[in-house]
Amino acid sequence: MQITLSQNLSYCVGVKRTLTLVEELLAKNPDKSYYMLGEIVHNEHVINDLRSKGLHFIRDIQKIENQGIVIIQSHGVSRAILERLKDNNIDYVDATCPMVCVIHKQIKKLEEQGYFPVIIGKKGHDEVKGIAGQVNRALIIGRPEEVSPGFFLEKEKVGVVVQSTFIRADALTILEKIKELGPEVKFIDTICRPTTERQAEVKNIAGKFDYILIIGSKTSANTQHLFSLASGKKSCVFLVDGPDSVKDMTISEDATVFIASGASTPMELIEKVISILKRRRRIGRNQRKPG
């Protein structure tokens, strides 16, 4: 079994920054109660680890007790939530990814310039909800077939941004459909560079390996996008959420395997998966019968 690793494994810069900040706060102030609105990243292993260290995960600030401090997760939040925190005199630490902050600024600027805000992204995703919450009203489009002429009636100017982890090709397809409907379109490409690099690498290698393992959570949008890009290209593609997922996986001894990961997947988890695969490779060699 020949194993090749992606050049873009584990956390992206934004996730690493947020996790470092949270770990430092928990370690330096063990007597304080820290709450996070939503999930810090979409990975169950990371969530469970931080929960065991005392971080509380909530969806409503009414759940905050004992003068707790709120940590705003890397996906960001709406203006309304920030105003609620301030109105209720709740202390908070903003750990929003800098690249997401850029999208917040861009969509607000588009609205100020008279463009109707459109977000290309997954409806219901924490990042998308936070972006939409920066303006008075925004249209969210996640698939090309969702582009409807009715959405753009009497809208002469449309300003478009993209969820930072969205698939670029899909975003451009949606953008072209919007342009076909006639409004003036100002497009700002807000897909982050680490996402672009991961997607380009996986798209380039798809079909060149017998197996492609994408390590990450099924709830992670960027992990799901990598899985989609790799699928259907003459490789057996698996979304692996942890070491247990590969224990019984049937992979031939002479197979070529490429390993990639989502931006919220801890390196420790990736190393455990690799260790199991290498152990199986050694066992397979030791069990070979002499020729």
Mean pLDDT for the stretch of residues 153-169: 92
Mean pLDDT for the stretch of residues 101-113: 98
Mean pLDDT for the stretch of residues 135-139: 96
Of 97, 121, 140, the residue at which a domain comes to its end is 97
Average pLDDT, the chain: 89
Of 137, 164, 191, the residue at which a domain comes to its end is 191
Kindly tell me the burial class for residue 215, based on how many C-beta atoms sit within 10 Å of its own C-beta (0-12, 13-18, 19 or more).
Answer: buried
Instruction: Quote the pLDDT of residue 289.
Output: 42
Same domain, 76 and 114: no
Cβ-proximal residues to 158 (8 Å cutoff; 6+ apart), any chain: 115, 116, 118, 152, 178, 183, 184, 185, 186
Residue 241 in contact with residue 44, Cβ under 8 Å? Answer: yes
Name the packing angle between helices 221-230 and 193-205 (round to 10°). Answer: 30
Of 74-78, 212-216, 279-283, the least confident: 279-283
Mean pLDDT for the stretch of residues 185-214: 93
User: Is pLDDT of 205 > 70?
Assistant: yes
Gap between the Cα atoms of 154 and 147, Å rounded: 15
* Number of domains the chain contains: 3
Same domain, 186 and 204: no
Does 32 map to a domain? Answer: yes
Q: CA 87, 88, 94, 99 torsion: positive or negative?
A: negative
pTM for this prediction: 0.84
Does 241 map to a domain? Answer: yes
User: Is pLDDT of 221 > 90?
Assistant: no
Position 282, amino acid = R
Of 40-44, 76-80, 119-123, 209-213, the least confident: 40-44
pLDDT band of residue 200 (cuts 50, 70, 90) is very high
Same domain, 103 and 159: yes
12, 211, 270, 241: CA torsion to nearest 10: 90
Instruction: Quote the pLDDT of residue 13.
Output: 86
pLDDT band of residue 99 (cuts 50, 70, 90) is very high
Question: What does DSSP say about strands 56-58 and 69-72: parallel, antiparallel, or unpaired?
Answer: unpaired
Position 262, amino acid = G
Does 291 map to a domain? Answer: no
Print the domain residue range for 265.
2-10+194-286
Mean pLDDT for the stretch of residues 116-132: 96
Backbone angles phi, psi at 40, to 5 degrees: -60, -40
Percent of the chain topping pLDDT 70: 96
Residue 124: HSE in the Cβ half-sphere, 13 Å Cα cutoff: 3
Of 34-48, 104-118, 231-245, 274-288, the least confident: 274-288
Of 36-50, 158-172, 215-229, the least confident: 36-50
**Which CATH number does the domain housing residue 18 bear?**
3.40.50.11270
Mean pLDDT for the stretch of residues 219-225: 89
Residue 176 in contact with residue 148, Cβ under 8 Å? Answer: no
Percent of the chain topping pLDDT 90: 64
Distances (CA, A) of 85 to 22, 35, 105: 19, 12, 20
Instruction: Quote the pLDDT of residue 281.
Output: 59
Tokens of 49: 């680890």
User: Is pLDDT of 272 > 50?
Assistant: yes
Question: What does DSSP say about strands 116-120 and 157-162: parallel, antiparallel, or unpaired?
Answer: parallel
Distances (CA, A) of 287 to 14, 75, 281, 284: 45, 48, 10, 5
Residue 71 in contact with residue 52, Cβ under 8 Å? Answer: no
**Which CATH number does the domain housing residue 222 bear?**
3.40.1010.20
pLDDT band of residue 282 (cuts 50, 70, 90) is low
Of 65, 97, 129, the residue at which a domain comes to its end is 97
Same domain, 212 and 250: yes
Instruction: Quote the pLDDT of residue 287.
Output: 40
Gap between the Cα atoms of 115 and 203, Å rounded: 33
Same domain, 179 and 246: no
pLDDT band of residue 288 (cuts 50, 70, 90) is very low
- What 16-20 contacts at long range (C-beta under 8 Å, 24+ apart), as own/partner pairs, is 17/74, 17/95, 17/97, 17/98, 18/73, 18/74, 18/95, 18/97, 19/46
Position 236, amino acid = C
- Give the closest residue to 217 by CA, choosing from 226, 204, 205, 206: 226
User: Is pLDDT of 59 > 50?
Assistant: yes
